[in-house]
Amino acid sequence: MSETLPLLLVQMGHPPADIRTAVGEQPDWFKTALGDVGPIKVVCPFEGERLPAAGTFSGAVISGSWAMVTDHEEWSERTANWLREIIDAGVPVLGVCYGHQLMAYALGGKVDYHPQGSEVGQIAVSLNDAARHDPLLEGLPTSFDTFLSHEQSVLTLPSCAVVLAASSHDPHQIIRYSSTALSVQFHPEFSAPVMNKIITSRSERVAMKGKDRDALLAAVSDTPFSRAILQRFVASL
């Protein structure tokens, strides 16, 4: 990571209060997953904070959210416009979950509720042939476990997109848009305690149709190869 410029973490909303109390929120999860990587600047556009200009940070990670891209909130649309600008400028960007969907939307794709419903828990994704020589993915197993919690998905790809991985539920788990811009539908920053709390919280707040909470919790262990993608991205800056 750059020794002079900070990593930018764009936080796209707060988690529900029960999750924040139990396991913290997005910056905590990313910092734990990354370890000591130098300065990290957190910007919260949903609180009206301005997104910084290209050249003032080494690269950007766009976090997940409990909002929906299709709500077209002002702060989300403003972030989408900013994403187009920094991606065009060649700034390294990694989108995660909501950030994944927002990047695809910003570049011309379509995001909406997945027709088969939500995808929650520890779930395997499979890399395709195009992923074999990707700098963030090369050397990873062809299939590895990830932590997922989402209702919306990238349904139609932008014209610049190359799909690199899929799950049985979602064919667009990893997307590359340019040599410096990539996004993942899963959460490389989640730990097992975070995933467990999110499963429990979701089951208490909304019905998880066709999903057994106890079975989901029992399946949670660790996702080191997923986390490695985040770590490789930051190490490349």
100 is catalytic: no
CA distance 97 to 212: 22
CA distance 72 to 101: 12
- Side-chain-side CA neighbours of 83 within 13 Å: the count stands at 31
State residue 36 phi and psi, 5-degree precision. -85, 95
| 7, two tokens | 């990593």
CA distance 125 to 145: 6
Reduced DSSP (H G I as helix, E B as strand, rest coil) percent helix, strand, coil of the chain, to 5? 35, 25, 40
Radius of gyration for the chain, computed over Cα atoms and rounded to the nearest angstrom: 16
Considering 119, 150, 169, 189, which one is annotated as catalytic? 189
Considering 100, 169, 172, 187, which one is annotated as catalytic? 187
189 is catalytic: yes
14 is catalytic: no
Considering 97, 100, 150, 169, which one is annotated as catalytic? 97
Residues labelled catalytic: 97, 187, 189
